[in-house]
Amino acid sequence: MTVSGAVRASAPAKINLRLGVGPLRPDGFHPLGTVYLALDWRDHVTARPADDWSVEVATSVPGRVALDQVPTTGDNLALRAARLLADQAGVSDPVAVRIDKQIPVAGGLAGGSADAAAALVACDRLWRLGTSPADLLALAAELGSDVPFALVGGAALGVGRGERVTPLPVGGRLWWVVLPDAAGLSTPAVYAEYDRLVVEGAIRPVGVDVPTGLPAALASGDPHALSAYLVNDLAAPATSLRPELADRLATGAAAGALAPLLSGSGPTCLFLCDSRRRADAVVRALATRGLPGALVSSGPTPGAVGSVEELPA
């Protein structure tokens, strides 16, 4: 039985507090040892019964989200998620998917993965499937390496290609300055550059082992303790493709943040701060140093599971 109205769900942006990357696997992916944190920027996905499958995309923050970079065909990850769940469950009722985006596109914040996770839980409710958490995680992993984390949210250790997630406790709210970049970066291109730099011997990745001090620092909620563990093996290849990222990261560090960090495969830059007030000051300092457009965000926040709302017909 299908819900008569529409169903809406949401999922968060993610950052990687540590992104350790191992050597390329035969399947074209890289093994990861990562610690994810969900930030309070969310995409909302609404699924509504319709005569045909479709997707439309909108945003209330056009300065942050480049809508023209989001596919609105069958390649759209939210639409693929809805169709995958339908195939798996033997559902033949199409849905119209609407995505309200807050998460920048192609920024290393897993916005597409958030859309897929939100679409999975929205359609699961719309079609009254009651899919088990383990089955939802398996479908999420088929859709993309970051999609399982977007389901669970909070903070988590990620292994495999990032799709095997184990929740981690966080002792307090962590404040970040987020500096998006309108141009975006292609994740496969950054991984390919990583491979090239490793073969050349130009970089020494930290690799997939996550130090035990990192979960402990996260559990303490102390941003000073956590700042010592922030590292991203994709920072070197992303900076090789976009040299201006090195200056941006250094500028944030000089502007009063505890530590700079590239988000995922970039080009979004992140700056960990020890309070909301400090984060606001770093935003102003970045603007006076020629880097306007930074925003404050915080985490952890919940994943898509549990975000479901039924809307009237």
Q: Just list the catalytic residues.
A: 14, 146
CA-wise closest residue to 291 among 247, 237, 232, 230: 247
Piece in contact with ligand C5P (CB under 6 A), picked from 29-37, 91-99, 204-212, 233-241: 29-37
CB atoms within 10 A of CB 168: 20
Total interface residues for ligand C5P by CB under 6 A: 12
Interactions with ligand C5P, residue window 146-175 (CB under 6 A): 146, 161-162
Piece in contact with ligand C5P (CB under 6 A), picked from 27-35, 119-127, 169-177, 286-294: 27-35
143 in Cβ contact with 88 (< 8 Å): no
Quote the least distance from Cβ 173 to ligand C5P, whole Å.
27
Interactions with ligand C5P, residue window 177-206 (CB under 6 A): 187-188, 191
Q: Whole-angstrom Cα distance, residue 137 to residue 117?
A: 9
Is position 239 an interface residue for ligand C5P (rule: CB under 6 A)?
no
Q: Whole-angstrom Cα distance, residue 136 to residue 134?
A: 5
Quote the least distance from Cβ 247 to ligand C5P, whole Å.
26
By C-beta, is 100 or 146 nearer to ligand C5P?
A: 146
Calculate Rg over the CA atoms of the chain: 19
Piece in contact with ligand C5P (CB under 6 A), picked from 22-30, 68-76, 87-95, 164-172: 22-30
Quote the least distance from Cβ 240 to ligand C5P, whole Å.
16
Q: Whole-angstrom Cα distance, residue 149 to residue 309?
A: 20
What sign results for the dihedral spanned by CA atoms 190, 192, 195, 196?
Answer: negative
Helix segments in the chain, DSSP class H: 77-89, 111-126, 133-143, 147-152, 187-200, 213-220, 223-227, 235-241, 244-254, 276-288
Is position 33 an interface residue for ligand C5P (rule: CB under 6 A)?
no
Residues of this chain that interact with ligand C5P (CB under 6 A) are: 28-30, 32, 144-146, 161-162, 187-188, 191
